[in-house]
């Protein structure tokens, strides 16, 4: 696992979350305790490193999955998913507000007064103000995953680290949930991820991070305070450079 000796110097980060984390024990939709758990994890990161700037991209698997609705053609299904990310973003925003964390939701398409229209320049200003920036709406184009959205926004917002918070401890040679013989990978390169087809992010997201020299930390969100501990000097997760 990776210690944060120099990693703690990262000031602006993007946190990528799956939509499923919002569902909690419900499996679908949004469970309030789950949303509050995530909000508190974000707050813990801010408390661990006072000058940190945090952007968040969240998926929508708890709201809608195109693969489970084959009767809906791909482009429409992708747009439904994008709208699902707005629902999750607003729910997370409310949870953060409830625990006293200032935040702004930016969306790539207009949804009225509760979100701001995304542009990178304004997004950077929000981050500099130390508000948490929640990014919704995906890339605004079909055929792109929220992992690609996270990589794209990390580049546009000039983030120094992309953190993919998952349900496992880091990167493995195979799915550790399905394969008990899967081996943990402490650190690797983007080129190796591509060559060995490790299931980290889709190829577009991986290539974007590689080309723009943004390291990726993969770690376990289910362990309370785990992500925040990285900024306190603890060894966690896997790093890809």
| Dist CA 63 CA 54 (whole Å) | 24
Residue 229 marked ligand-binding:
no
Kindly state the DSSP code that residue 182 receives in the 8-state scheme.
P
Query: What is the DSSP annotation of 132-174?
Result: EEEEESTTSSTT--HHHHHHHHHHHTT-SEEEEEESSSSEESS
pLDDT for 114 = 85
- For the chain, counts of helices (H) and of strands (E): 7, 11
pLDDT for 79 = 94
pLDDT for 3 = 47
User: Do residues 57 and 153 lie in contact, with contact meaning Cβ atoms separated by under 8 Å?
Assistant: yes
pLDDT for 8 = 61
Residue 172 marked ligand-binding:
yes
In the structure encoding, which two tokens stand for residue 60, read together? Answer: 């929508």
The list of the chain residues with pLDDT below 70 reads 1-8
| Dist CA 191 CA 209 (whole Å) | 11
Residue 29 marked ligand-binding:
no
pLDDT for 89 = 98
pLDDT for 199 = 84
pLDDT for 125 = 98
The class that CATH gives domain 7-240 is: alpha beta
Residue 25 marked ligand-binding:
no
pLDDT for 129 = 98
**Side-chain half-sphere CA neighbours of 115 within 13 A:** 26
Residue 215 marked ligand-binding:
no
**Coil, helix or strand at residue 228:** helix
Residue 141 marked ligand-binding:
yes
**Coil, helix or strand at residue 98:** helix
Residue 65 marked ligand-binding:
yes
**Coil, helix or strand at residue 188:** strand
Q: Which of 52, 56, 40 has the alpha carbon at shortest distance from 231?
A: 52
Residue 169 marked ligand-binding:
no
Q: Where are the domains of the chain?
A: 7-240
User: Do residues 19 and 30 lie in contact, with contact meaning Cβ atoms separated by under 8 Å?
Assistant: no
Residue 202 marked ligand-binding:
no
Residue 145 marked ligand-binding:
yes
pLDDT for 4 = 46
**Coil, helix or strand at residue 91:** helix
| Dist CA 144 CA 1 (whole Å) | 30
- Residue 27 zone, left/alpha/beta (φ > 0; ψ -120 to 50; rest): left
Burial pattern 101-133, b for ≥16 Cβ within 10 A else e, equals bebbbbbbeebeeebbebeeeebbebbeeebbb
| Dist CA 166 CA 222 (whole Å) | 8
């Amino acid at each position: 696992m990776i210690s944060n000796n120099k990693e703690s110097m990262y000031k602006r980060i993007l946190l990528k979350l799956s939509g499923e984390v919002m569902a909690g024990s419900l499996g679908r939709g949004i469970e309030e305790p789950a949303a509050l758990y995530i909000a508190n994890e974000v707050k813990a990161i801010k408390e661990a490193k006072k000058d940190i700037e945090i952007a968040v991209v969240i998926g929508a698997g708890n709201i809608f999955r195109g693969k489970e609705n084959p009767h809906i053609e791909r482009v429409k299904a992708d747009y439904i998913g994008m709208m699902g990310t707005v629902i999750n973003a607003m729910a997370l925003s409310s949870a953060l507000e409830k625990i006293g964390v200032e935040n702004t939701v930016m969306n790539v398409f207009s949804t009225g007064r509760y979100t701001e229209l995304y542009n990178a320049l304004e997004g950077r200003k929000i981050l500099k103000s130390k508000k948490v920036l929640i990014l919704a709406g995906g890339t605004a184009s079909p055929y792109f995953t929220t992992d690609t959205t996270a990589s794209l926004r990390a580049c546009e917002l000039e983030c120094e680290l992309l953190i993919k918070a998952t349900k496992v401890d880091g990167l493995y040679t195979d799915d550790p949930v399905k394969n008990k013989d899967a081996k943990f990978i402490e650190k690797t390169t983007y080129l190796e991820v591509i060559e060995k087809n490790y299931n980290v992010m889709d190829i577009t997201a991986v290539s974007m991070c590689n080309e723009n020299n943004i390291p990726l930390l993969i770690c376990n969100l289910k362990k309370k305070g785990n992500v925040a501990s990285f900024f306190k000097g603890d060894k966690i997760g896997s790093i890809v450079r």
